[in-house]
């Protein structure tokens, strides 16, 4: 099929490359000509494992192309995927829908035949129905422009796998079983043939699936971090508590690791927008707990800075601190709402001399926090340090030999903000080891 993807950020670039991998001819659109030029040359403007190879392969084959022209997109595609961002509004908890609305405004006037536009962005419930009316009103008579909603469930670091082999597909439709569903089934035929479950539903339910999923994951993470606070107050060990809870099949162990908490461009802003939308539609009390979920998550950053201050003898002024991690999670260069960088910046504001290392996110971190120091390796960052903070769970950091590292630091003190290092090994190598939720 001939598929277009509007918006070539993280979601759009991934979706475009994976649509080509499924065998479709794909035309990607972005309003940023520099981004389009980079993608057309096979260069990915962000890090995602396996995606650059996929884009390079399909650009070279001619199956994947890019443009800045809505007219070209309208003439090319049988189905148009809208993959633009929905950031948090400045000064508000609500989602900013200007980019989603701009897609409809820009594309609709160029449509000249029966067309399906498919939203993939995370939006407040009620958005799809409104956009469907707007699309139909702006498209020329006879275009028969229809809208569907197909929410994404990508995990950064696993985006290609999550697109080609997702846990489920969700189709939000004005008319289940109609032409729009048939077209989406054709697009995703290889995925459905592989046995991936499909939920075909109405617009509001499809919109709620993504926001509800993110709310649940955020709640589970904050729950175990709340237990970490209780463990710190009582002398218990949250890692062993997590292990015990994980054996209960009703609870499970995924997303039950206590630590510095979540960040990134999705979970924080999505749960805030979800709570804000609930207030707008009169269901605010139902999601009141999400505000505490958010607060628990942010408190973990406060606690990490507090641990660093404690190990520094009460004051961070003049202390040399190595921060391992800048990305909000491993296998990504995304620093949006990064807990690691937030902590690093707070340490700097308290007078510490902070040096950051991350395997992929250094360039982004330098641009966002030029006052911090940066190193070319984990060992370089730690050389001469009074304190090492492990804040992003890269495998590279777990592989560091604590005995070797002890030879280059000024003081062998470490804060394990992700509860991922081998505490016994670090202590045996002479380190003072502290972690969140552990004695």
Q: Strand, coil or helix: what is 78? A: coil
**Terminal Cα-to-Cα distance of the chain (whole angstroms):** 58
Residue 134: CB atoms within 10 A of its CB come to 16
Residue 342 backbone dihedrals phi, psi, to 5 degrees: -60, -45
Cα gap 210→150, rounded to integer Å: 10
Alpha helix positions (H), 87-202: 98-107, 127-138, 159-164, 179-187, 189-193
β-strands 169-173, 145-149: how paired? antiparallel
Identify the residue whose tokens are 């035929």: 189
Per the rule left: phi > 0, alpha: psi between -120 and 50, beta: everything else, 351 is left
Cα gap 132→203, rounded to integer Å: 10
Query: CA nearest 121: which of 272, 280, 10?
Result: 10
* Active-site residue, from 18, 83, 266, 413: 266
Residue 341 backbone dihedrals phi, psi, to 5 degrees: -70, -35
Token pair recorded at residue 90: 């400045």
| Catalytic site includes residue 266 | yes
Question: Any residues with CB less than 8 A from the CB of 155 and at least 6 apart, and which?
Answer: 162
Cα gap 50→161, rounded to integer Å: 9
Strand ranges (E), 293-376:
320-324, 353-357, 373-374
Q: Are 168 and 191 in contact (CB under 8 A)?
A: no
What DSSP designation does 42 have? Answer: T
Sheet holding 432-435, edge to edge: 373-374, 353-357, 320-324, 387-390, 413-416, 432-435
Catalytic residue positions? 266
């Amino acid at each position: 099929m001939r598929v277009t993807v509007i918006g070539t950020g993280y979601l759009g670039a991934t979706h475009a490359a994976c649509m080509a991998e499924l065998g479709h001819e794909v035309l990607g659109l972005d309003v940023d000509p520099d981004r389009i030029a980079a993608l057309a040359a096979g260069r990915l403007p962000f890090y995602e494992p396996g995606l650059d190879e996929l884009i390079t392969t399909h650009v070279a084959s001619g199956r994947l192309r890019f443009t800045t022209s809505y007219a070209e997109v309208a003439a090319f595609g049988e189905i148009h995927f809208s993959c633009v961002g929905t950031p948090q509004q400045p000064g508000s908890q609500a989602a900013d829908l200007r980019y989603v609305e701009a897609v409809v405004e820009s594309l609709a006037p160029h449509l000249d035949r029966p067309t399906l536009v498919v939203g993939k962005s995370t939006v407040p419930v009620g958005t799809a129905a409104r956009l469907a009316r707007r699309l139909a009103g702006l498209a020329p008579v006879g275009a028969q422009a229809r809208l569907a909603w197909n929410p994404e469930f990508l995990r950064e670091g696993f985006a290609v796998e999550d697109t080609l082999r997702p846990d489920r597909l969700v189709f939000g439709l004005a008319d289940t079983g109609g032409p729009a569903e048939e077209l989406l089934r054709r697009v995703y035929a290889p995925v459905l043939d592989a046995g991936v479950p499909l939920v075909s539903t109405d617009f509001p339910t499809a919109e709620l699936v993504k926001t509800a999923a993110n709310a649940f994951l955020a709640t589970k993470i904050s729950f175990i971090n709340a237990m970490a606070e209780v463990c710190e107050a009582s002398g218990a060990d949250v890692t062993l508590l997590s292990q015990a809870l994980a054996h209960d099949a009703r609870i499970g162990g995924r997303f039950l690791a206590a630590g510095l908490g979540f960040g990134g461009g999705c979970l924080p802003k999505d749960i805030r927008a979800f709570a804000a939308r609930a207030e707008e539609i009169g269901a605010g009390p139902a999601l009141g707990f999400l505000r505490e979920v958010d607060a628990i998550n942010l408190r973990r950053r406060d606690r990490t800075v507090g641990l660093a201050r404690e190990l520094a003898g009460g004051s961070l002024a003049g202390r040399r601190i190595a921060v391992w991690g800048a990305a909000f999670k491993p296998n990504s260069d995304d620093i949006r709402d990064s807990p690691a960088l937030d902590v690093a910046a707070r340490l700097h504001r308290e007078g510490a001399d902070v040096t950051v290392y991350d395997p992929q996110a250094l360039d982004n971190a330098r641009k966002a926090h030029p006052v911090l120091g940066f190193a070319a390796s984990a060992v370089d960052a730690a050389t001469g340090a009074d304190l090492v903070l492990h804040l992003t769970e890269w495998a590279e950091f777990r592989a560091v030999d604590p005995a070797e590292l002890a030879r280059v630091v000024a003081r062998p003190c470490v804060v394990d903000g992700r509860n991922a290092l081998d505490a016994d090994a670090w202590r045996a190598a002479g380190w003072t080891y502290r972690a969140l939720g552990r004695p």
